[in-house]
């Protein structure tokens, strides 16, 4: 018997008074225990409608989210554990992706910061470590450097982790970051529309687009 699909995490906004202040929260629950058994994971009591509450990435049940893209947190809805990512609490630091490194079994965050010429350099941050984020610079290839001279946005469509690589769609290219050797590469995109987004389809890389009442799906064959 099929069960009705239910969310594992719920984002809640409740009006507090006549102003634009609300209480924003992340609640987690076991879908088999009933929808009423919610457990509070994280709550922003100073949330305002003018300061977006955004989810950036998920990996192995961990979620990275932020308030106004300024205060970043990583949380585990299953264990109710969370911590603030202080290295990202900087207006010039941008989140790019979250992944678990296979060799160390530790979670890493790929982030970027601009230099004085507004070119972005990329860094690796180890979650839970006291070490500073490690600078991995920019791609050595000049053409690839031009493609990602601006930051890899984690906008409405976050990066996709597949086969030890993070993937983003950027204009007519798909940018690939190999988490093992920490190198960038790129491939052509089958769809240039900004609304197209990368996804994972049965262990393969795919791209989806919905427009004019038509849904299109591409799958990378090799």
The runs of H, that is alpha helices, within the chain are: 142-147
pLDDT at residue 99, rounded to an integer: 96
- Under a CB-based contact definition with an 8 Å cutoff, are residues 28 and 79 in contact? no
What is this structure's pTM? 0.79
pLDDT at residue 181, rounded to an integer: 92
| φ, ψ of residue 51 in degrees (nearest 5) | -120, 100
In percent, how much of the chain has pLDDT > 70? 69
Q: Region 125-143: what's the mean pLDDT?
A: 85
**Lowest-pLDDT range of 45-49, 79-83, 91-95, 98-102:** 45-49
Mean of all residue pLDDT scores within the chain: 78
Q: Rounded to whole angstroms, how far apart are CA atoms 190 and 219?
A: 9
- Band of pLDDT at residue 217, cut at 50, 70 and 90: confident
pLDDT at residue 150, rounded to an integer: 58
Domain boundaries, the chain: 1-82
Q: Report which of 93, 72, 68, 99 is spatially closest to residue 161, judged by C-alpha positions.
A: 99
pLDDT at residue 92, rounded to an integer: 79
- Under a CB-based contact definition with an 8 Å cutoff, are residues 121 and 115 in contact? yes
Q: Region 188-214: what's the mean pLDDT?
A: 84
Q: Rounded to whole angstroms, how far apart are CA atoms 6 and 128?
A: 31
- Band of pLDDT at residue 161, cut at 50, 70 and 90: very high
Whether the predicted pLDDT of 109 surpasses 90: yes
- Under a CB-based contact definition with an 8 Å cutoff, are residues 72 and 82 in contact? no
């Amino acid at each position: 018997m099929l069960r009705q699909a239910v969310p594992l995490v719920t984002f809640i906004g409740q009006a507090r008074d006549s102003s634009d202040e609300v209480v924003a929260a992340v609640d987690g629950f076991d879908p088999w225990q009933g929808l009423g058994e919610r457990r509070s994971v994280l709550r922003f009591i100073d949330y305002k409608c003018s300061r977006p509450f955004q989810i950036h990435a998920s990996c192995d049940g961990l979620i990275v989210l932020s308030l106004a893209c300024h205060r970043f947190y990583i949380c585990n809805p299953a264990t109710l554990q969370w911590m603030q990512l202080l290295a990202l609490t900087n207006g010039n630091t941008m989140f790019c992706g979250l992944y678990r490194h296979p060799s160390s079994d530790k979670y890493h965050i790929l982030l970027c910061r601009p230099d004085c010429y507004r070119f972005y350099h990329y860094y690796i941050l180890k979650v839970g470590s006291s070490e500073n984020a490690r600078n991995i610079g920019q791609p050595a290839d000049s053409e690839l450097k031009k493609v990602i001279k601006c930051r890899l946005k984690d906008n409405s469509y976050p990066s996709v982790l597949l086969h030890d690589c993070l993937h983003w769609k950027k204009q007519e290219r798909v940018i690939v970051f190999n988490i093992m050797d920490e190198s960038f590469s790129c491939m052509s995109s089958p769809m240039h529309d900004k609304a197209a987004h990368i996804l994972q389809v049965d262990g393969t890389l795919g791209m989806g687009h919905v427009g004019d009442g038509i849904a299109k799906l591409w799958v990378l064959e090799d």
